[in-house]
Amino acid sequence: MAGGAHAEKEQGGPVGRPARGRRAGPVHRESGLSRERRRRRGAPPPGNLWITCVTECRDWKSPLAAPNRWTPIFFLDDAVALAAGHRPCGLCRRSAYESYRDAVTTGRPGAGRRGADRLGAGRLGASELNRLLGAERLNRGRGIDRAAHRKLWTADCADLPDGSVVVDGQDAPRLLVDDRAMRFTFGGWVDPRRRVRGEQVRVLTPPTSAAALAHGFRPELHASAAV
């Protein structure tokens, strides 16, 4: 998958063309200033439409890292993309998007046990999802390397759903699956350790996406997560 390279229909923008490439993970969509202009100014990516796409769709093509175009970046899997503050695209990943949207809606305060039955009237729109995630991603700051500005939150490890990514004592991201906490590498999830339930951990996955995972959204995980 990759970070998004095209506009969604519900966003009202032009339909662009996703990049071809290896199936790595969701692609992030970025617009506005060219990468070089942002690099010189130390500006973060503009806008709050951070979506994850498939790497092939309808034979559309898009140049990689072209000035003033959407900038695709490649992720290992959905867990990494969600932890980076992205959500599934509503165009090329429609089923995943609807699952994510409905899961977030169901998990909203006040949804209650019958929340899923009332989705037709109360579904969150794409713009609202973007607003929620945009508020949860970054603290104020500048520069392309924004790791120090990521918003972390604290939770009991037992309360986090599978697919969540936390930060360990060495500041390494770890994926929670079943009773394991696996460290991220660009080649896959490695170094499985026992998941310590009851331990307070710093969480990298934004609260909105954690709610989606807790209420039925099933992320596409790298094969190494099942080892």
Residue ranges of the chain whose pLDDT lies below 50? 5-43, 113, 115-118, 144
Helices within the chain (DSSP H only): 35-41, 78-83, 94-106, 119-122, 126-137, 207-214
CB 88 within 8 A of CB 220: no
pLDDT at 93: 94
> From CA 105, how far away is CA 97, in angstroms rounded?
12
Task: Identify the pLDDT of residue 176.
Answer: 97
Reading phi first (left if > 0) and then psi (alpha if -120 to 50, else beta), residue 158 is in alpha
Is residue 138 helix, strand or coil? strand
Residue 156 has phi, psi (to 5 degrees) of: -75, 130
What pTM did the predictor assign?
Answer: 0.77
- What pLDDT, on the 0 to 100 scale, is given for residue 138? 81
pLDDT at residue 197, rounded to an integer? 84
